[in-house]
Amino acid sequence: MQDTKDRIVSLADQLIKSRGYNAFSYKDISDPLEIKNAAIHYHFPTKTDLGVAVIDVELQQFMASTGKLAAQPEDKQLKFLFDTFSRKNKEGLVCLMGSLSPDYETLPEPLQDKITDLSSAILEWTSGCLERGREKGLFRFEGEPSDRALLVISNLLASLLLSRVMGSKVFGRITHQLLRDLGAGK
């Protein structure tokens, strides 16, 4: 069955987003799934392989979700991005980038490369969304769309981190300002 393999990836994903890559061990996966640690090594020979698989799944889900939304107006599309982060905030999780980037220097190269891929994909999508949205008058902002996209992503990422430390209401306070600055929903 593909079942166990999927469950391992899914649990690893949760663990990275809740405790960080360096802070979780195979035991955190084998115990709840009631399997042995060697079973994880059967599916993912090294922890690096598991980490890469987690990012791969995230990237594929991102591509699939945004692909389905492509026909919608850009403010709706951007709302999808905000909703994704809002959901994570409610679960007390941070995003993959927010979890992995502080540890970036300690991560094996294949993982570093995957993180770069993921960040590029998110940045490109957001840039395109903002650019087309501004052309249609759905957003109002100055400067390059790619720079503004960077600012949006930066805020979403950090609002999850700060919510952990300062309380979950912080997320809404930050994103509210962010959307106002974009002239969205006006």
Binding site for DNA (CB under 7 A): 1-5, 24-27, 34-39, 41-43, 45-48
Task: Select the residue interacting with a second copy from 106, 136, 140, 186 (CB under 8 A).
Answer: 106
As measured in angstroms, the least distance from the Cβ of 33 to a second copy is 20
Comparison of 115 and 156: residue with beta carbon closer to DNA: 115
Comparison of 5 and 79: residue with beta carbon closer to DNA: 5
- Residue 127 interacts with a second copy (CB under 8 A): yes or no: no
Q: Retrieve residue 13's tokens.
A: 């994903």
As measured in angstroms, the least distance from the Cβ of 155 to DNA is 31
Long-range interactions of 52-58: CB distance < 8 A, separation 24+: 52/110, 52/111, 52/114, 53/9, 53/12, 54/9, 54/12, 54/13, 54/16, 54/96, 55/96, 55/111, 55/114, 55/115, 55/117, 55/118, 56/114, 57/9, 57/13, 58/13, 58/96, 58/118
Q: Retrieve residue 46's tokens.
A: 């090294």
Residues that bind a second copy (CB under 8 A): 18-20, 22-23, 92, 94, 97-99, 101-106, 115-116, 119-120, 123, 142-143, 147-148, 150-151, 153-155, 157-159, 161-162, 164-166, 170, 173-174, 176-178, 180-181
